[in-house]
């Protein structure tokens, strides 16, 4: 059960091509932006779509797969864990952001 404490699964489409960074050690980092869209009917009966954007980070072999096979518009299923980070902005204010640290990528083949 310990593995289920911080686990997220998302199905969506990439908003941009993966951004790849290679470190001196040779290890790769991929940054991805994934859009997930939900829809519902409002009280007037109109269909409303709501899109959420997720920042994804992949390391090592997972980053290499992203670099080689993924492109803007690719539909993916990703599994990973949520991480919260902060940094100090230019004006000294603290800024917060959320990332998904990706463990697994499944390519659906849809565009």
pLDDT digits (tens, 9 = 90+) for 27-79: 999 999 999 999 999 999 999 999 999 999 999 999 999 999 999 999 999 99
Q: Is 4 helix (H, G, I), strand (E, B) or coil?
A: helix
Q: How far apart are CA 107 and CA 69, in angstroms?
A: 9
Three-class HEC string of 27-76: CEEEEEEEEEEEEEECCCCCEEEEEEEEEEEEEHHHHHHHHHHCCCCCEE
Count of CB atoms situated within 10 Å of the CB of 55: 14
pTM for the predicted model, two decimal places: 0.83
Q: Is 87 helix (H, G, I), strand (E, B) or coil?
A: strand
CATH topology of domain 2-107: OB fold (Dihydrolipoamide Acetyltransferase, E2P) (2.40.50)
């Amino acid at each position: 059960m310990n593995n289920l404490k911080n686990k997220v699964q998302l199905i969506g489409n990439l908003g941009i091509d993966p951004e790849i960074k290679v470190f001196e050690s040779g290890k790769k980092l991929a940054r991805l932006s994934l859009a997930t869209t939900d829809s519902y009917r409002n009280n007037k009966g109109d269909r409303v779509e709501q899109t959420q954007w997720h920042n994804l980070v992949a390391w090592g072999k997972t980053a290499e797969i992203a670099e080689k096979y993924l492109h803007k518009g690719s539909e993916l299923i990703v599994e990973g864990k949520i991480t919260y980070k902060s940094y100090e902005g230019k004006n000294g204010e603290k800024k917060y952001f959320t990332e998904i640290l990706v463990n697994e990528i499944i390519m659906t083949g849809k565009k």
